[in-house]
Structure 1
């Protein structure tokens, strides 16, 4: 029985230090309408999300379209890079990808974040086997999930992602059988 997981990287957000409450920007809200339209043409059974507002806002219109609430799953929240904002975000993120066990003070290593995210995904695959599942999430944790099944999804792949970006992962039981990029970014 095939299970389809649509990983949805959140749309553009307005930066604030409040990771949990950071909302989508005006541009991000417009893109979430495009996400809604895309999924309106698909049979979706359940919508899950990271607890972060920007991830929820990106997929809540999909849940509304199927008459359901977004189910919050902590395991899909973004990886915590460090306790304090990093001066050079790009260099800091490159470092954790170069050494999967390295972590900045108060942050998560790739190994730790991947373990958390994969456990959440495996639980979802078990609970919703045979269903079409939308998951609102974040760039880094999304790529770490994909990287668990295929090492080609790496730092360079992460750098190529758009906001939002959507990948369909097809599973037979808990085995990944195919990945397809189904939409990236707002239509120009």
Structure 2
């Protein structure tokens, strides 16, 4: 029995230091409507999301369309890079991708974040086998999850993601059998 996980990287957000409550920008809200339209063609059975507002806002149209509540899964939240602001985000993110065990002060290494995201993914695959699920999430954690199942998904791939972006990962049990990009500009 095939299970489809539609990982949805959130749309563009308006920056605030409040990670949990950062909302989508006006452009992000427009793109979220397109996400809803694209996912309406995919026979989505249920919607899950990171608890972060921008991820929820990106998939809430799909949730409304199928008349279902969004199931919040804390472990689909974005990786914590550092508890302190980093002076050079690009250099800081590159460092954690170059050394999967390295973590900035109070942050998660790629290895730690990936383990968290993969465990959440495996639980979802077990609990909702045979379903089509939209999962509102974030770019870094999404690619770390994808990389666990297929090593071609790496730092360069992450750098090329759109905001939003949608990738359908098809599983037979817990074995990845296919990946297809659903989003296109």
Q: Normalised by the size of structure 2, how large is the TM-score?
A: 0.99
Unaligned runs of 5+ in 1: none
Determine the structure 2 residue equivalent to 1:102: 102
How much has 1:94 moved relative to structure 2? 0.1
Contact 2:38 2:182 in 1 (8 A): no
CA distance in 2, matches of 1:55, 1:123: 20
Contact 2:118 2:145 in 1 (8 A): yes
Determine the structure 2 residue equivalent to 1:82: 82
* Structure 1 counterpart SS, 2:183: strand
Length, aligned pairs only: 185
Determine the structure 1 residue equivalent to 2:5: 5
How much has 1:41 moved relative to structure 2? 1.8
Runs of 4+ in structure 1 deviating by more than 4 angstroms, as ranges, are none
How much has 1:40 moved relative to structure 2? 1.6
Cα RMSD (Å): 0.6
* Structure 2 counterpart SS, 1:135: strand
Q: Normalised by the size of structure 1, how large is the TM-score?
A: 0.97
Does residue 1:33 correspond to 2:33, yes or no?
Answer: yes
CA distance in 2, matches of 1:137, 1:43: 19
Unaligned runs of 5+ in 2: none
How much has 1:39 moved relative to structure 2? 1.4
